[in-house]
A = this chain, B = another copy of it.
Amino acid sequence: MLFNTLLLASTASATCLHGLSMFKRAEGEGVKVGTFGYGSLNGPFNWATLAVENEACKAGANQSPINIDASVTVAAEKPKLDIPKVEEVEFENLGTTIEVLANGTTSFAGADFRLVQFHMHTPSEHHVNGEYYPLEVHMVHQAVADETQLAVIALMFQVSAGESTSIIKSLSASLPAVSTPGTKIAIPGGIDFTDVLAKIESSDILQYTGSLTTPPCAEGVTFLIVKDALDISVADFNSIKSIIKFNARYIQNTLGAVNMLEVGNLAGTAQALQLPIVEKPVAVEAILTKGHTFTVTELNGLPTEIAAVVVKRRSPKYT
């Protein structure tokens, strides 16, 4: 038997910015699959090695995704989405995600944003109060006035024994056609965003300024996290997971704090970042007496054994 060797080298580059007009491919060009990935050497620990413009992945102090806890504030207003009915939309497998090219206009905080695409991460990249979700959808927008200003609406999905919500249902029949990186298909009738629009109305929306979760990890991206999860059916979830396999960047440090790769670099040294002591004010309805007992119902951060409970009574004259 003859043996031959195929030597495969890569030159293409694709990011979450794919589909944005400044990165838009020429008409007729094929789907470009990403050179980065989620393994050990092509994965998020090493993204800064893949290209010089990926420096923020290693050095940035306002990186995404993060854990959405009480420190992240509710958006002052809801984004208003206007997505016109179209005859068809393109659904692509970029290797690093599967993505639908979309059109629409979203108004938020006095500015108009153009909806460019939405793509998927499994498991979720953001956590909500420490909990992950099996799927997260990123609806990527560019400001109309300044295309470099990006806003991402992030949707969480929980597996359900029932049917998928409309955004997933609209594309589920097309999943087999995009099972291989580089493939694409047109989805006739486009995407039904009805359930997404309803969830944006009913759910809290958490807002923070972070980064692209993929190379080049550029910062200054507005994230609007829809806190309440949408439903995805078992069949659709398993189908999407079998195509994507895994594409979640690890949780980043709290906003403004040192990059996680620096946390790892300093770990175990004299300069290591230490855990803060958890201190939480507790409202007490009754007058404090000897023998008074407390029940801890919530902790800031992950659970820990209680070694000491120190009760500081505020002087009544200040209350």
Contacts and interface: CB of A to CB of B under 8 A. Distances in A.
The main secondary structure of chain A at its interface with chain B is loop
Contacts of A250: 45, 250
B234 A49 contact: no
Contact of A5 (B48, B123, B264, B281): B281
A319 B1 contact: yes
Contacts of A47: 267
A261 interface: yes
A24 interface: no
Contacts of A268: 48-49, 52, 54-55, 58
A43 interface: yes
A46 B302 CA distance: 14
Interface string A299-319: 101111111111111101001
Interface string A119-151: 000110001011110100000000000000000
Interface in A173-202: 181-182
A314 B282 contact: no
Contacts of A33: 303-305
A245 interface: yes
Contact of A35 (B57, B67, B266, B304): B304
Contact of A161 (B6, B11, B161): B161
Interface stretch (A70-78, A79-87, A204-212, A252-260): A252-260
Interface string A225-269: 000000001110110011001100011111001001101111110
A213 to B, nearest CB: 14
Nearest to A258: B40
B5 A182 contact: no
B283 A1 contact: yes
B235 A161 contact: yes
A135 to B, nearest CB: 11
A3 interface: yes
Interface stretch (A15-23, A102-110, A271-279): A271-279
Given A45-B264, A55-B268, A4 B305 contact: no
A275 B42 contact: yes
Report, nearest first, the 5 A-B pairs whose CB atoms are least far apart: A48-B268, A37-B302, A12-B305, A181-B303, A10-B304
Given A6-B311, A35-B304, A264-B265, 11 more contacts: A4-B288, A5-B312, A6-B279, A7-B309, A7-B312, A33-B305, A41-B274, A127-B245, A132-B241, A161-B235, A250-B250
Interface of A: 1-12, 32-33, 35, 37-43, 45-50, 52, 54-55, 57-58, 67, 95, 122-123, 127, 129-132, 134, 158-161, 181-182, 233-235, 237-238, 241-242, 245-246, 250-254, 257, 260-261, 263-268, 272-285, 287-288, 294, 296, 299, 301-314, 316, 319
